[in-house]
């Protein structure tokens, strides 16, 4: 029992950090979740793999409930669950050998071999230690993968950016976009337009511009209102996604949906960059619930007492971009059309963890 309490302490402290937004942003949340799961797994106790899976699911549910808009936490938990399930199915591979390997789920209707819901029950004899070390190794690889996302995305810059091109980026808060552009500047000469991103990312915008300017990239900051005016001269729009959904839509910084709409109007290609850990198998059922509303004091400072309380001020932090408005997703495993995202999701997560009662 003491061991159970031991990991619950870490989990609870991480949950409060998530709730207080001490950990924010997909990258930070993803790495922190990996570390947390590693500690949970090294101190947790279980007698069967089913129990182990249940333990991780339990932690995952708590994390998702703590901050449902930080999709990275849920994604990492699902990835880890997939690692465990793969490990389990590998060891039972001999038992499953007589199960016909149906290549499409459509044949499920006609097969007799029922998909075994918890094959892990037969596995109680398997030493815990073995599975533990394998899963921890898997999580280490996951952390490495997350850390190397930028490098892999940067590899594609040469193919995507041309000489003397004008790029527009409405997400100066994105590290991935920044690294992408910095890397591209080594091989190509181009201009970057950055939207001001008032009111939430205005400081990030200035820092972003500074970093680009240091690399001798021609950088222009434009107000958000002039996006449509400049769009006719823009060659490509580059956006950083916060999380990407199974239908190919994504959540990103506020104002980006407008930019994508303008780009569509001018037939300007929109590139979205995102690491694999941002791909969520969930479906954006209710768009309002995806969008977080922030401090309205940033729009109308509270010192402005004349207006405070007399009018309503909202400050949404995110935007949902529909899949039709994005031409390509550039990820650390390659470039994909939004139509193909469902496949990436199917490859990385198990169906049990997508539509279960927990998630």
295: tokens are: 């401090």
For position 283 contacting other proteins by CB under 8 A, the verdict is: yes
State in angstroms the smallest separation of the CB of 286 from other proteins: 6
Tell me which long-range contacts 93-102 makes (C-beta under 8 A, separation of at least 24). 95/119, 95/122
The strand ranges marked E within the chain are 166-169, 191-195, 218-222, 236-240, 243-244, 250-253, 270-273, 318-321, 328-331, 334-336
For position 355 contacting other proteins by CB under 8 A, the verdict is: yes
For position 340 contacting other proteins by CB under 8 A, the verdict is: yes
Q: Which residues pair with 321 in a beta bridge?
A: 250
For position 100 contacting other proteins by CB under 8 A, the verdict is: yes
Which one among 5, 47, 104, 314 touches other proteins, defined by CB under 8 A? Answer: 104
* Residue 179 CA from chain centroid, whole number: 17
- Choose between 1 and 106: whose C-beta lies nearer to other proteins: 106
For position 285 contacting other proteins by CB under 8 A, the verdict is: yes
For position 121 contacting other proteins by CB under 8 A, the verdict is: no
For position 133 contacting other proteins by CB under 8 A, the verdict is: no
Stretch that binds other proteins, among 97-105, 153-161, 197-205, 219-227 (CB under 8 A): 97-105
Give the chain's end-to-end CA distance (angstroms, integer).
Answer: 26
- Choose between 228 and 342: whose C-beta lies nearer to other proteins: 342
Which one among 127, 163, 267, 286 touches other proteins, defined by CB under 8 A? Answer: 286
Name the nearest CA neighbour of 79 among 348, 330, 291.
348
- Measured between alpha carbons, how far is 240 from 314 in angstroms, rounded to an integer? 23
Positions in 211-270 near other proteins (CB under 8 A): 246-248
Contacting positions for other proteins (CB under 8 A): 100, 103-110, 112, 246-248, 283, 285-286, 339-340, 342-343, 351, 354-355
């Amino acid at each position: 029992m003491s061991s159970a309490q031991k990991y619950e302490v870490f989990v609870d402290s991480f949950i409060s950090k998530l709730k207080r937004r001490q950990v924010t942003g997909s990258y930070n949340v993803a790495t922190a979740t990996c570390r947390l799961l590693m500690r949970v797994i090294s101190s947790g106790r279980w007698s069967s793999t089913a129990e182990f899976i249940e333990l991780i699911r339990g932690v995952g549910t708590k994390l998702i409930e703590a901050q449902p808009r930080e999709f990275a936490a849920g994604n990492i938990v699902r990835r880890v669950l997939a690692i465990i399930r793969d490990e389990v199915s590998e060891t039972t591979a001999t038992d499953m050998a007589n199960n016909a390997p149906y290549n499409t789920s459509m044949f499920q209707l006609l097969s007799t071999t029922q998909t075994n819901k918890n094959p892990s029950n037969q596995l109680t004899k398997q030493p815990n230690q073995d599975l533990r070390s394998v899963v921890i190794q898997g999580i280490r690889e996951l952390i490495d993968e997350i850390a190397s996302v930028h490098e892999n995305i940067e590899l594609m810059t040469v193919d995507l950016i041309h000489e003397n091109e004008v790029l527009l980026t409405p997400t100066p808060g994105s590290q991935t976009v920044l690294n992408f552009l910095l890397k591209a500047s080594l091989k190509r000469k181009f201009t970057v337009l950055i939207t001001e991103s008032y009111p939430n990312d205005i400081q990030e915008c200035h820092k972003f511009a500074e970093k680009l300017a240091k690399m001798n990239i021609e950088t222009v900051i434009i107000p958000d209102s002039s996006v449509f005016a400049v769009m006719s001269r823009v060659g490509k729009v580059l956006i950083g996604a916060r999380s990407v959904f199974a239908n190919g839509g994504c959540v990103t910084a506020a104002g980006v949906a407008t930019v994508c709409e303008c780009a569509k109007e001018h037939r300007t290609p929109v590139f979205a960059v995102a690491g694999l850990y941002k791909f969520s198998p969930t479906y954006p059922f209710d768009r309002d619930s995806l969008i977080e509303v922030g401090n309205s004091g940033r729009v109308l400072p509270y010192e402005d007492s004349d207006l405070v309380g007399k009018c309503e001020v909202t400050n949404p932090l995110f935007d949902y971009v529909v899949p039709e408005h994005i031409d390509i997703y550039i990820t650390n495993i390659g470039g994909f059309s939004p139509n193909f995202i469902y496949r990436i999701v199917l490859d990385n997560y198990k169906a049990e963890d997508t539509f279960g009662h927990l998630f």
